């Protein structure tokens, strides 16, 4: 297909590696003779025409930066029929023949709405939560997991004969994916996630068993989708009289220079998104599946639910004895 | 003086760099022909004779480790007259002619009690809180500040047009020292510490001013000595309708591999503590003052209060406009 | 199959994540009622019976440690027929019914030799070089790449109007895999690897083009398989009069706390290796392929050659314009 | 004094923390009602008028960045009488009544030349080498030392029964300060610096002694002022037949996000430099001495030589037994 101008935006919660994806879109586009427009603040900028032409230099020295230089925002206006019309008008005015949306499932829903009204859109999965199906990883997830693992390591350092327990509440919205991966990699004694019912007595038993075996620490990774870190700490103290401290990592998990894995995957997905638009495709997500870049219908992505890796959860239990 | 056997213990909250101090005590002692005994779990181990002979290898490969391999504990027993008697007996039994205590003010109080009953003791300031007078820095403080600064940097990365505010609650007990240093180094918009009365309206005004100047983030560093991060977040949201997130770093600040500064200072203080015992001195603290290792009476340390660096607080206000 | 005792060793160049693999072998083994023996210093320890029984605690607090607590060594003796006989005798004496070898292709050759003589062996790919076929990643590779990317980032920071160029020589033996991934993730201007012929004039041209476009840095990642960093620096200085500095990262790349990715993959591969032995299998490698744990004949692994990801090399060229 | 406009430049080799110093100059200046001009590329920009007005936003989000956003360069022209005249003319044209120079001794010489011709100048010590007298630390030194210590830690991780030795060549020009501090903090077995004659036989003996005591690693930190890492490796291999690897960290040491210590010191020195100009002072260096900000005559700084901390060198020998 003969396409001349494309646009790129980042939307939803920001994630480390979004800049690497945008850089890949811009440079691959320019390499192929396209005009690439950068849309600021996600759909908000699309509705209001907050758009600038990107050059090779616009994306210089951003591959290693956390956050997104294009910024992101939530747009209530874009959720309305009228807002979407405005967005389409803006795309016409700026000559945007294809739009690349880097974001999570909420952002993809918006993209599908635009596609239904005639726009060409490609989604790139960018969210630390790793809750998008048909892609093994989302951009930012690997960085977020490493941030949590670093925090677990620091907490493990600080030991005491009091046999203190520590609860670390981590992000992930309704998904326990960050908690599960970070807990497994960090050697946490318990991992509490929305996908698996938990029993506070088992958590307590694990603490006591560890103590009896001479363990100096007991780390509980708790997904925000379960929540209630402070109440849990109180319950543990009441039940087994073990002093229990709470860490809420919060938005610390959203930042940081992206890992090599996130940068490489983001670069590959961003570049492929441009190629798809050049091939005349639309309403696809570019994912990283079976260690390969592939594409899949966006609507299929929205209809599906990511499979929970129950074998990893089982493994974590065995290894953290 | 002709001393033959010394003991070393770490006490109170653990701090990164305590291992470097112990390593310096052990190796300086052995270099000078002394026997060095390692007392486990602080005063608890002293009361109960949990003591092992240290060799050059006992402290191999620990200079870079967080926490303390000698462990630390609180001992209710040692706070009693009887507990202290027991400790003195143990010192006699093991032939400990001089005791080096690495810890904070609580640990120093215990050391002074032992000294009053005839023991030779030297204190080495080890606590992340930096709340000990007559030493510009305490072991672990520099590491803790860098940990908080790293967290602030990650939060700064994650931007949004919503003009979100972030509160980071940091450690320090009654001292705002970690908050002040980390806030200054991290470029935080507001620093709230026990030493200075704060006005929530000024905090809110700073957020609004930053927003009006185009700032994408607003970071509030809050010392645990003030506390109330979640309530503060709610108040800010009510007053100026700015979404406000909370991070509680907790014990993450106690861990991590010590910085070069902490390792070097700890090594120098630990080595000097041994020399002081060899010189026949007692009831001193080895501090790092005016960039030099010096000694000062332990009782004087306990009687004084660390001066608050008000000029740094004023500077932080100017620089974070 | 009814197996009772297994052994595990790490062999060849050490790699971050080997400890996580050993931990998984030990804990999965014990969980399944097996005795697990740890063999020290690779095949050297097997030949000489340097073997200890592993308990849950033997592998406590090692998941985050670089290097390998079982140590590794090269054994000339094991390369001989006689050495292998000795090893088999030792296996019989200690009752080792299955052996798990964590290492690279050299280590796998040894394992196959043992298998040919009747031993049951399973290989786990552990090497920073990522040069083993039938596994997308090897244990330690992700960590090494991130170490190099961090170094590239630091070099990028230091700018100058002199338009200085920097060459970073990185490890990988005959493979350019570390160089390619780190160069792509670090945004290096040129990546020079054994798999692709390079033209020094093109390297120079890229430096000049970058300079003309206002770039402040020019980073060349050079695989050790090509080598000659200092000569290359001199050539660049002669050809285009651009001051060129050299960094040789060396063994820095072998160390560091393993990334979450390496820890998780190592844990999964180690656990699966135990299962394979319990299933009665032998002479297999457990790999991570298409984002799944799988097994493949060890002889097939040794006969094949890893495919070079030429599309990633092409992408790196486009993105580093 | 009634001063209205000041300028700031960074000069010589860049150092982490220079941005924090510039930020402090700009914001303190503006807070006090001054115009602050940023001069690009050091004296080169001063000679050629490459100057822009700084606002609060010009220095937003730079406190954590390595390098210097004002850039730095060497200017042959400025070394001439004519070049300095030009610089003075430019200062007059732009109304620069006071100039703050962040750099090392070479940069200070230039500043003194300008002062002799009538300009008001204040120097701020910014160099990773820590070779400036009358200041205990220079901006960037703490960061560079931590970078080297991290590299030493990674090398220590990678163990082998071959008893391999590792040489790490570090920066510092004629000063061994980085090598000494990093070697002490990293627990290096030998530290070789220009200030102290070394004996290769003693280096070898230490390696052998360590080996005999069961040490698994032997790390030699070598200052670039001594140099010759590869030759030294060859000599060690010949003399004691221990495989010896070389790491040349190079410009990696110049980069990286500045540590809290460097950011805070840089902020304090930069702010004080502005105050000095407002007080009508000139030809001073602002240093950090005895843990306090102080000022000293620039000419005195240039005439003196930094004292070598021989007691720290002696300590390093004792502790690395």
Closest CA of chain D from B86, distance in Å: 33
Minimum CA–CA partner of A163 in chain B: B73
Contact D261 B214 (CB under 8 A): no
CATH number at residue A43: 3.40.50.450
DSSP C283: S
Q: Are both A173 and A133 inside the same structural domain?
A: no
Using a cut of 0.90, tell me whether the model's pTM lies above it.
yes
Between the CA of residue C319 and those of A63, A264, D99, D282, what are the distances in Å? 10, 11, 41, 49
Contact B248 A246 (CB under 8 A): yes
| Contact present, B248 and A166 (Cβ < 8 Å) | no
Which residues between 240 and 269 in chain D have a beta carbon less than 8 angstroms from any beta carbon of chain B? 257, 259-261, 263-264, 267-268
Assess if residue C154 is contained within a domain. yes
Contact D260 B149 (CB under 8 A): yes
Closest CA of chain B from D174, distance in Å: 21
Pairing of strands B98-103, A218-223: unpaired
* Interface check C73 vs A, CB under 8 A: no
Helices (H), A64-199: 81-94, 105-116, 141-157, 177-186
Residue among C60, C115, C113 at smallest CA distance from C82: C113
Section B42-61 average pLDDT: 96
Minimum CA–CA partner of D182 in chain B: B260
| Contact present, A176 and A223 (Cβ < 8 Å) | yes
The predicted-structure confidence for C76-85, as pLDDT tens digits, reads as follows: 999 999 999 9
Closest CA of chain B from A72, distance in Å: 6
DSSP D5: E
The predicted-structure confidence for D218-255, as pLDDT tens digits, reads as follows: 999 999 999 999 999 999 999 999 999 999 999 999 99
Q: How far apart are CA C260 and CA C258, in angstroms?
A: 7
Assess if residue B11 is contained within a domain. yes
Assess if residue C317 is contained within a domain. no
Q: How far apart are CA B174 and CA B176, in angstroms?
A: 7
Count of other CB atoms within 10 angstroms of residue B213: 12
* Interface check D312 vs B, CB under 8 A: yes
Chain C: partners with 3+ C-beta pairs within 8 Å: A, D
Q: SS3 of B60, please? A: coil
Contact C158 D65 (CB under 8 A): no
**Facing residue for C185 by CB, picked from A61, A263, A292:** A263
Q: What is the pLDDT of residue D162?
A: 60
Give 3-state DSSP helix, strand, coil % of chain C, rounded to 5.
45, 20, 35
Domain enclosing residue D289, as ranges = 5-140+258-303
Assess if residue B320 is contained within a domain. no
Which residues between 265 and 304 in chain D have a beta carbon less than 8 angstroms from any beta carbon of chain C? none
Residue D210 has pLDDT above 90, yes or no: no
Q: How far apart are CA C305 and CA A238, in angstroms?
A: 59
Q: Are both A113 and A26 inside the same structural domain?
A: yes
Section B183-190 average pLDDT: 97
**Facing residue for B64 by CB, picked from D31, D153, D290:** D153
Q: Choosing among A20, A271, A291, A319, which should be mutated to test the C contact, i.e. which has the most C CBs within 10 A?
A: A319
Q: What is the pLDDT of residue B158?
A: 84
Q: How far apart are CA A100 and CA A270, in angstroms?
A: 8
Strand partners of residue B99: B7, B121
Contact C56 A260 (CB under 8 A): no
Q: B160: pLDDT confidence band, cut at 50, 70 and 90?
A: low
Minimum CA–CA partner of D258 in chain B: B185
| Contact present, D111 and D36 (Cβ < 8 Å) | no
Choose one of C195, C224, C254: the last residue of a domain.
C254
Contact B72 A160 (CB under 8 A): yes
Longest dimension (CA), chain B: 70
Assess if residue B84 is contained within a domain. yes
Report how many domains make up chain D: 2
* Interface check D44 vs C, CB under 8 A: yes
**Facing residue for C267 by CB, picked from A27, A289, A319:** A319
Q: What is the pLDDT of residue A160?
A: 65
Q: SS3 of A284, please? A: strand
Q: Are both C237 and C158 inside the same structural domain?
A: yes
Burial class (CB in 10 A: 0-12, 13-18, 19+), B137: buried
Minimum CA–CA partner of A140 in chain B: B158
Q: Are both C153 and C299 inside the same structural domain?
A: no
DSSP A256: S
Q: SS3 of B309, please? A: coil
**Facing residue for B155 by CB, picked from A162, A247, A251:** A251
Section C264-269 average pLDDT: 98
Contact B260 D60 (CB under 8 A): no
Contacts of D72 in chain C (CB under 8 A): 159-161
Q: What is the pLDDT of residue C214?
A: 82
* Interface check D14 vs C, CB under 8 A: yes
Give Cβ neighbours of residue D68 (< 8 Å, ≥ 6 apart).
C159, D10, D14, D15, D18, D19, D22, D102
Q: Choosing among A185, A262, A269, A274, which should be mutated to test the C contact, i.e. which has the most C CBs within 10 A?
A: A185
DSSP B122: E
Assess if residue A319 is contained within a domain. no
Residue D129 has pLDDT above 90, yes or no: yes
Q: Are both D102 and D9 inside the same structural domain?
A: yes
Residue D182 has pLDDT above 70, yes or no: yes
The predicted-structure confidence for C276-307, as pLDDT tens digits, reads as follows: 999 999 999 999 999 999 999 999 999 999 99
Q: Are both B132 and B66 inside the same structural domain?
A: yes
Residue B149 has pLDDT above 90, yes or no: yes
Q: Are both C262 and C180 inside the same structural domain?
A: no
Contacts of C159 in chain D (CB under 8 A): 14, 67-68, 71-72
Contact B263 D185 (CB under 8 A): yes
Token pair for B139: 């072991």
* Interface check C314 vs A, CB under 8 A: no
The predicted-structure confidence for C301-316, as pLDDT tens digits, reads as follows: 999 999 999 999 999 9
Minimum CA–CA partner of B44 in chain A: A161
CATH number at residue A192: 3.40.50.460
Active-site residue set of C? 129
Q: Are both D103 and D46 inside the same structural domain?
A: yes
Minimum CA–CA partner of A66 in chain B: B157
Beta strands in D229-283 (DSSP E): 244-248
Assess if residue B69 is contained within a domain. yes
Give Cβ neighbours of residue A201 (< 8 Å, ≥ 6 apart).
A239
pLDDT-wise least confident of A207-216, B99-108, B171-180:
A207-216
Contact C319 A28 (CB under 8 A): yes
**Facing residue for D256 by CB, picked from C44, C154, C160:** C154
Using the Cα atoms of residue C139, residue C143, residue C146 and residue C148 in order, give the sign of their dihedral. Answer: negative
Closest CA of chain D from B264, distance in Å: 5
ipTM: 0.97
Q: What is the mean pLDDT of chain D?
A: 95
Contact C185 A260 (CB under 8 A): yes
Contact B185 D260 (CB under 8 A): yes
Q: How far apart are CA C201 and CA C171, in angstroms?
A: 24
The predicted-structure confidence for C166-180, as pLDDT tens digits, reads as follows: 999 999 999 999 999
Q: What is the pLDDT of residue B213?
A: 84
Q: Are both D18 and D130 inside the same structural domain?
A: yes
Q: How far apart are CA C50 and CA A110, in angstroms?
A: 63
* Interface check D66 vs C, CB under 8 A: yes
Helices (H), D12-131: 18-31, 43-48, 81-93, 105-116
Q: B161: pLDDT confidence band, cut at 50, 70 and 90?
A: low
Q: Choosing among C12, C156, C171, C255, which should be mutated to test the D contact, i.e. which has the most D CBs within 10 A?
A: C255
Q: SS3 of C189, please? A: coil
The alpha carbon torsion through B172, B173, B175, B179 (nearest 10 deg) reads 30
Q: Are both A169 and A231 inside the same structural domain?
A: yes
Contacts of B182 in chain D (CB under 8 A): 260
Residue among C220, C150, C157, C214 at smallest CA distance from C188: C220
| Contact present, A72 and A13 (Cβ < 8 Å) | yes
Chain D: partners with 3+ C-beta pairs within 8 Å: B, C
Chain A: partners with 3+ C-beta pairs within 8 Å: B, C
Token pair for B85: 């008697």
Closest CA of chain D from B257, distance in Å: 9
The alpha carbon torsion through A134, A139, A145, A151 (nearest 10 deg) reads -160
Q: Are both C10 and C132 inside the same structural domain?
A: yes
Contacts of A181 in chain C (CB under 8 A): 260, 264
Residue C1 has pLDDT above 90, yes or no: no
Assess if residue C15 is contained within a domain. yes
Active-site residue set of B? 129
Contact B71 A256 (CB under 8 A): no
| Contact present, D250 and C247 (Cβ < 8 Å) | yes
Closest CA of chain A from C201, distance in Å: 21
* Interface check D185 vs B, CB under 8 A: yes
Contact A267 C142 (CB under 8 A): no
Which residue stretches of chain A have pLDDT < 50?
none
* Interface check D64 vs B, CB under 8 A: yes
The predicted-structure confidence for D280-294, as pLDDT tens digits, reads as follows: 999 999 999 999 999
Residue B214 has pLDDT above 90, yes or no: no
Q: Are both A112 and A235 inside the same structural domain?
A: no
Q: Nearest 5°: phi and psi at A100?
A: -105, 120
Closest CA of chain B from A254, distance in Å: 6
Contacts of B145 in chain D (CB under 8 A): 260
**Catalytic, out of D14, D129, D142, D262:** D129
């Amino acid at each position: 297909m003969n396409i001349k101008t494309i646009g790129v935006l980042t939307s939803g919660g920001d994630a480390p590696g979004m800049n690497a994806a945008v850089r890949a879109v811009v440079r691959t586009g320019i390499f192929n003779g396209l005009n690439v427009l950068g849309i600021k603040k996600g759909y908000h900028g699309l509705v209001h025409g907050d758009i600038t032409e990107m050059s090779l230099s616009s994306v210089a020295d951003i591959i290693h930066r956390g956050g997104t230089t294009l910024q992101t925002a939530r747009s209530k206006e874009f959720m309305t029929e009228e807002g979407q019309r405005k967005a389409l008008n803006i795309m016409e005015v700026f000559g945007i023949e294809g739009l690349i949306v880097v974001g999570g499932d909420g952002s993809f829903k918006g993209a599908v709405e635009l596609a239904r009204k005639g726009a060409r859109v490609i989604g790139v999965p960018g969210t630390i939560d790793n809750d998008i199906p048909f892609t093994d990883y989302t951009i930012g997830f690997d960085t977020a997991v490493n941030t949590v693992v670093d925090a677990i390591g620091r907490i493990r350092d600080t030991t005491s004969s009091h046999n203190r327990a520590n609860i670390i509440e981590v992000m992930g919205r309704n998904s326990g994916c960050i908690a599960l991966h970070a807990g497994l990699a960090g050697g946490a004694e318990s991992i509490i996630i929305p996908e698996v019912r938990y029993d506070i007595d088992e958590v307590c038993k694990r603490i006591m068993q560890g103590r009896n075996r001479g363990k100096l620490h007991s780390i509980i990774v708790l997904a925000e989708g379960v929540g209630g870190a402070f109440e849990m700490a109180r319950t543990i103290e009441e039940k087994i009289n073990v002093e229990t401290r709470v860490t809420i990592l919060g938005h610390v998990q959203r930042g940081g220079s992206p890992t090599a894995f996130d940068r490489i995957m983001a670069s590959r997905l961003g570049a492929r998104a441009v190629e798809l638009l050049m091939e005349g495709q639309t309403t696809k997500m570019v994912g990283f599946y079976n260690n390969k870049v592939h594409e899949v219908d966006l609507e299929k992505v929205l209809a599906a639910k990511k499979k929970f890796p129950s074998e990893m959860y089982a493994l974590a239990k065995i290894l953290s004895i």
